[in-house]
Every structure is written in structure tokens, then in C-alpha cells.
Structure 1
Amino acid sequence: MAIQTHKITETPDAFIVNGVRVPKMKKGQSNVYDPAIIKAVGSELFFDLVASKQPLPMPDLGFSEAEWKDMEKMLDNDQ
């Protein structure tokens, strides 16, 4: 099996992999990628480049403790 090497350069808003521009993910925006880009660089390398390296924190949704408990009860009743 041949080992494929990639020439990767980084700009402020993208990675360039063997001449293919892979835009960086932007926080707070919908990030949609052309399947041809993913196929061109390979899915494993694509996700290594653009995926978050750390788990994303759960945002504070503004619910009180009582509201969370009510929602949990509703979910339990649905099962």
C-alpha cells in the first residue's frame, strides 16, 4: 500500500492541501463543504484539519433548575 503525503499550507481562513483549498470552520456560522473537497483531500485528513480538537462546551440555554426537571419528566413520560 502506498503512503500518500500531503503538502499542507495554512492561511488565516483556509488550509491548502496539494493545491485544494479547504476553508476553516467559522464559529457561529453554518459550515458547508463541497463533497469534492472532502474526497480530494480524504475524509480522515479533512476532519483532522477542520474538526474541533476539544469538546465544545454546552451553551447556557437560560432554563432554571425547575424547568430542566420538568423537561426531564416530560422526556421520561415519552419513553
Structure 2
Amino acid sequence: MRYKYITYHDRQQISTRYLNDERVADIAAALGLTLATVYRELKRGETGALDHNQRMEYDPDIAQRRVQENLKRRGKTSK
């Protein structure tokens, strides 16, 4: 698979599918992502609470905020 950045829209889709109790493997296949990428994304957006499926709750807004903070902290790269 080819590497791609996850967009906010992708994060919303992950959230919706995850709440609908879809398997992580199915979410990854539907979005064209690797299984590891989806698991990292779910970890990035954890709220610390359990959802109605008794899995760690995922919030796409938290995940997006963390990505943006990491990009700011990284700063500009020299060419």
C-alpha cells in the first residue's frame, strides 16, 4: 500500500465505522489504509472512556488536534 496522510474526513469515517462496531481490518480496507495505521489513529484519538461497544472511545477532533500540535512542534524542515 502507498503511504498517505489521513485527512479529517478520513478520521470522521473511522469514527463512524468504529462506532458501528466494524472490525478494524474492514475499516482499513474500506479506506485504503494499513491495519497498523488505523490502530495508531484509534490510539491517537482515544478519549479515555469506553463507547457503547465497550471499546476505547475514539474522537476524530482529538486526533486532528494532536496531529496539528505535532506538526507545529516539528517546525519547518530544511531542504
TM beyond 0.5: no
Q: Larger Rg: 1 or 2?
A: 1
TM-score by length of 2: 0.33
TM-score by length of 1: 0.33
